[in-house]
Structure 1
């Protein structure tokens, strides 16, 4: 058991070190030697756990997706209205990407997955499906118009969030990400919300940004 626990711990150290390297220089710029240095391990120890750079990149993507899915499962099973959950998910995912190196690296690697030999489509498919589910719930709640094309809206919202966080990363290192997500929703919500519900919901993005957008305390 002790040996197994050490192996799990070592694997976690490698994934975190790989996330730091991939997040900084991308898949093409990273090398296994760089990751060895970042993890403080020998090449033999690294290759014992991961046979190739691609295998390690896929492990980082999986780790990021597990974090995101864990958040999504918790919110999807909450009793909150669907539209509230959809927006809250965007802000909490933004917080993950902004504050967690594994999440940042996983997102970057997913976007660079054309460099990999296997397609990485599951994260996109899962979040489009989650958006569609929550929009349907919001229609039943009476917050979203019944004539909204749910599938088209979900296919737009998920990549719109991806684009917003990528551009925020390029321009400000994601320091302004929460405000950019507020702006995204300020354009999207009017096309979704039942007119009679607009006054009650128009401030929801800013309210959620205030709650979930706080930066972590510095050490």
Structure 2
């Protein structure tokens, strides 16, 4: 049991260190020596857990997916607005991207053209937004003339854009940036009689 616990801690340290190196240097430039050094383990210990850099990247992506689902699978409060819930989750995602290097590195790896992806974080996020918008449309929370698919496209494009730009300038992953996006979108998206009940700045724990 002691050996198993030690092995699990070593693996976690390697995944975390790999995420930091991938986030800083990118997959192509990142070296296994830098990753093992940051984790405080030998190259031999690294290879015991991961056969290659690609295997490490897969592990980072898989852990990032778990963290993405932890944000996206938050429970909708009873009677809550579906649109507000969508807003709050986008705040939760950008907040997590700002603070969680594993999640951030996972998205970065998903965008790397030089490697085969086992996990498609962008695709999973798209699917979540698509379902959230479908529920909002079914609940009558979108203007009749609004294209639900257009909303999905806008939200995914904006949030993925925040993630990409945030790699160079952290202000793109701020609550202010997300607030500006929703403030601009709300009038075109939501019936006038529902606008007063929505908060472009987010509500609840996801946006704080």
Q: TM-score, normalised by structure 2?
A: 0.88
Please state whether the residue corresponding to 2:180 is helix, strand or coil: helix
- 1:152 is displaced (CA, Å) by 3.3
Q: Compare the two structures and name the one with the higher helix fraction.
A: 1
- 1:187 is displaced (CA, Å) by 2.4
Unaligned runs of 5+ in 1: 215-219
The Cα offsets for residues 126-181 of structure 1, whole Å up to 9 and x where unpaired, read as 2222112211222233321244322332133113101023223312x347621111
> Aligned partners of 1:85, 1:153: CA distance in 2, in Å?
14
CA root-mean-square deviation: 2.2
Structure 1 segments, 4+ long, off by >3 Å, are: 210-214
Please state whether the residue corresponding to 2:200 is helix, strand or coil: helix
1:217 maps to none
* Aligned positions, number: 207
> Aligned partners of 1:146, 1:120: CA distance in 2, in Å?
38
> Aligned partners of 1:194, 1:136: CA distance in 2, in Å?
16
- 1:67 is displaced (CA, Å) by 0.5
The Cα offsets for residues 167-218 of structure 1, whole Å up to 9 and x where unpaired, read as 23312x34762111111212222221112222332xx12244x96555xxxx
Larger RCO (CA within 8 A; separation ≥ 6): 2
Q: TM-score, normalised by structure 1?
A: 0.84
Q: Determine if the alignment matches structure 1 residue 99 to structure 2 residue 112.
A: no
Query: 1:144 touches 1:193 (CA, 8 Å); kept in 2?
Result: yes
Change (3 A) 1:72 1:99: same
Please state whether the residue corresponding to 2:51 is helix, strand or coil: coil
